[in-house]
């Protein structure tokens, strides 16, 4: 059984690597010379058409000039709440360029990895209110799922009498997963609310870290790895790759196309591993797991076959955020079922 799963996972890894190594492209809007020129002129003149960018007229939004004291700068909380010069310039140049493209019969394109969204007048600082709200809901779903799992394994299921530790061998791993999940959705909600370089990198890095750890956890559970040394052997190469990728995004090049391919590759491998394992082992909650895998694969298509935002508000990415909410509920339900199943199995063997 383990050998058959291993062969399929190895094949999935090869396919994923081939997918990742295909051509890498930046967002089309980023490399548009008209857009770049507009942003540069805006930052120097503070004017885009009939719009006057007030933040670009204030020296507080630029770096600290030589000879100026740090206390002359705008308070950090005010910088967070308001839109800075570069952000405003990017937004108005993007909308101006999209109007030009639309008048020329061209379809919308992405800018800095994101579709052109219309700002909501009530929440001027919120760039994608729908995605931000759905990210917060996903965070809540993971918290409630983890809390119910914590109460289950510590207070409702039997524990080892000598050590008072749970019989379920993967309890600690799922706790780490919950922390990484909540961290990823927290930064997702922040990023979709306030799109600056810092929040963007934290969002992307947190998502990659979660996917990488989820891949490790899927392999450890599907291969039923319990020995600590073997777990380290499984995790080490994936951790090395994920760490290198995060450093690449943060300190070399935040390449949206490359990052998307890496994330999809890690997602495909773990979905295949879970689906095959559920069928081979005849897990009592395999149908629930298959629903998560099937739903996750369909949701992934929203990231692959992306489309522009409808009326400037809801795009494929926001729909992906919405689809993960019920999947999260099912996922934590399966995790709790797995904890009960493994605990009953271990207790029976102990007797």
Instruction: Report pLDDT digits (tens) over 102-123.
Output: 888 888 888 877 788 877 654 4
| Mean pLDDT of all residues in 166-179 | 97
Instruction: Report pLDDT digits (tens) over 132-157.
Output: 999 999 999 999 999 999 999 999 99
Q: How far apart are the first and last CA of the chain?
A: 26
The H or E element that residue 47 is part of is: strand 47-48
309 vs 183, residue with greater confidence: 183
Average pLDDT of the chain to the nearest whole number: 83
Q: 340 vs 153, 172, 345, CA distance in Å?
A: 8, 15, 9
Q: Widest CA span of the chain, in angstroms?
A: 80
Q: What is the DSSP letter of 120?
A: B
Q: What is the DSSP letter of 190?
A: H
Confidence of residue 11 (pLDDT cuts 50, 70, 90): very low
In the chain, DSSP finds a helix count (H) and a strand count (E) of 11, 2
Residue 63 has pLDDT above 60, yes or no: no
Instruction: Report pLDDT digits (tens) over 286-330.
Output: 999 999 999 999 998 888 787 878 777 788 888 999 999 999 999
Evaluate whether 30 touches 111 at the Cβ level (below 8 Å).
yes
Find, among 265, 135, 137, the residue nearest to 202 by Cα: 135
Q: 164 vs 169, 181, 228, 336, CA distance in Å?
A: 13, 27, 19, 19
- The model carries a pTM of 0.79
**pLDDT of the residue at 81:** 41
Spell out a b/e string for 236-245, using b for 16 or more CB atoms within 10 Å of the CB, else e: eebeeebeeb
23 vs 279, residue with greater confidence: 279
How far apart CA 238 and CA 223 sit, in angstroms, is 16
């Amino acid at each position: 059984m383990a050998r058959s799963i291993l062969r399929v996972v190895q094949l999935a890894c090869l396919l994923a690597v081939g997918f990742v190594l295909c051509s890498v492209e930046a967002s089309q809007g980023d490399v548009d010379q008209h857009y770049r020129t507009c942003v540069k002129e805006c930052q120097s003149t503070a004017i885009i058409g009939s719009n006057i960018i007030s933040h670009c007229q204030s020296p507080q939004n630029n770096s600290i000039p030589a000879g100026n004291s740090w206390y002359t700068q705008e308070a950090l909380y005010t910088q967070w709440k308001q839109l800075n010069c570069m952000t405003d310039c990017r937004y108005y140049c993007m909308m101006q360029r999209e109007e030009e493209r639309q008048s020329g019969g061209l379809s919308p394109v992405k800018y800095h990895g994101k579709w052109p969204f219309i700002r909501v007048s009530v929440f001027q600082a919120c760039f994608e209110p729908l995605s931000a709200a759905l990210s917060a809901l996903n965070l809540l779903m993971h918290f409630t799922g983890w809390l119910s799992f914590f109460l289950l394994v510590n207070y409702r299921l039997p524990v080892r009498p000598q050590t008072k530790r749970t019989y379920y061998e993967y309890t600690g791993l799922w706790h780490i997963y919950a922390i990484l999940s909540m961290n990823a959705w927290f930064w997702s909600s922040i990023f979709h609310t306030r799109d600056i370089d810092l929040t963007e990198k934290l969002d992307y890095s947190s998502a990659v870290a979660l996917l990488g750890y989820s891949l490790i956890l899927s392999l450890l559970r599907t291969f039923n790895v319990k020995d600590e040394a073997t777990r380290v052997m499984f995790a080490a190469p994936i951790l090395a790759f994920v760490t290198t990728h995060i450093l690449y995004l943060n300190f070399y090049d935040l390449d949206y196309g490359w990052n998307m391919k890496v994330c999809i590759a890690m997602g495909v491998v773990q979905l295949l591993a879970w689906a095959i394992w559920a069928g081979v082992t005849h897990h009592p909650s395999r149908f629930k797991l298959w629903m998560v895998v099937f739903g996750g694969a369909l949701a992934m298509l929203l990231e692959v076959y992306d489309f522009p935002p409808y009326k400037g508000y809801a795009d494929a990415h926001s729909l992906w955020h919405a689809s993960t909410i019920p999947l999260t509920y099912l996922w934590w339900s399966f995790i709790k079922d797995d904890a009960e199943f493994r605990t009953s199995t271990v207790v029976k063997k102990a007797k």
